[in-house]
Amino acid sequence: MAKKIHISGNEDDFSKALADRLYRTGAILVESLEDAEYVIHFGGESIGDMAIVTPDMEISHPGLIVVIHDLLSPEGNSIRWGDGELHAWAKRIREETPNLDAFRNNLPRHWVHVRDVCDALSTLILSDRAKSITGLLNISGRRSWSPESIIEEMRMLWGRYKDSLNHSHTIESLSTVPSPISLETKIQAERPDLSFLHESLMDCGSEGWHPLVPMRVSLMEIFAHAKD
């Protein structure tokens, strides 16, 4: 029998994406909190079974507190979750005004695509043991990305896009595929503890936390959704 889910709190691309993912998986989204078998709240209030918050929010909750780190949303309407700088960089790349020096001391970030996050949350929410999963659960990407690597990758992707529009590809432009991995800096950023997430997903019958959306695809989607 399909589980009845109620979603409350701050609405943005992230909450809409999760609602869509749950609906497509067979959940019934209900308007009334009283009709729901599981309640999800976006924000720092202690409401429902699952509270989804940013790292700077302090909350006491008897259920599951999901802390989202470095969420990447291609549409750019969920920047309170942390990806505002990515969209700002993409805008500067498009306008050909990037200033890489301004970001050299920024810490790397553990970016994770909103689709991967919604897939993981759906697995937890729709499992038979959803109510028993309580405590503090972090979600982020598994590897870090420096500002330098992201900006260089954006430059390459935007250059290729312009070459396609102008029919100006060359053998060199098509064969040069720099990898962000080669541009990592010595600056390190501590990754959030993902063990509870990984173990909980495995307990729900999945293979654990293995984000699938590549960074290159994520950045291409940011350009695709960019507003003029």
In CATH, what is the architecture of 4-224? Answer: 3-Layer(aba) Sandwich (3.40)
Average pLDDT over residues 178-191: 62
More confident residue, 18 or 158: 18
pLDDT in tens, 37-88: 999 999 988 889 999 999 999 898 999 999 999 999 999 888 789 899 899 8
CA-wise closest residue to 174 among 187, 185, 163, 184: 163
Q: In this predicted structure, which of 94-108, 132-146, 151-165, 176-190 has the lowest mean pLDDT?
A: 176-190
| pLDDT band (50, 70, 90) for residue 186 | low
| Residues 57, 45 contacting (CB under 8 angstroms) | no
Residues whose CB falls within 8 Å of the CB of residue 212, separated by 6 or more in sequence, listed in order:
116, 119
At 124 the pLDDT is 98
Report the range of poorest mean pLDDT among 79-93, 98-112, 156-170, 195-209.
Answer: 156-170
| Whether residue 126 has pLDDT greater than 80 | yes
What is the structure's pLDDT at 3?
Answer: 97
pLDDT in the model for residue 182: 46
What is the spatial distance between Cα 77 and Cα 118, in angstroms, rounded to a whole number? 16
Is pLDDT at 187 greater than 80 in this prediction? no
Q: Is the pLDDT of residue 159 over 50?
A: yes
Which of 53-62, 126-135, 179-188, 213-222 is predicted least confidently? Answer: 179-188
Mean pLDDT of the chain: 88
Q: pLDDT higher for 126 or 101?
A: 126
Q: Pick 160 or 130 by higher pLDDT.
A: 130
DSSP secondary structure letters along 120-177: HHHHHHHSTTGGG--EEEEE--SS-B-HHHHHHHHHHHHHHHHHHHHT---HHHHH--
**Region 161-183: what's the mean pLDDT?**
58
Which tokens is 6 given?
């109620």
The pLDDT, as a whole number, for residue 14 is: 96
Which contiguous run of DSSP H or E holds residue 100? Answer: none
Scan for tokens 């659960």, then name that residue: 137
Q: Is the pLDDT of residue 178 over 70?
A: no
The span from the CA of 45 to the CA of 42, in Å, is 8
Task: For 82-92, write each residue's pLDDT tens digit.
Answer: 899 899 889 98
Band of pLDDT at residue 1, cut at 50, 70 and 90: confident
Domain spans of the chain? 4-224
Residue 175: predicted pLDDT: 56
User: Are 89 and 151 spatial neighbours (Cβ–Cβ below 8 Å)?
Assistant: yes
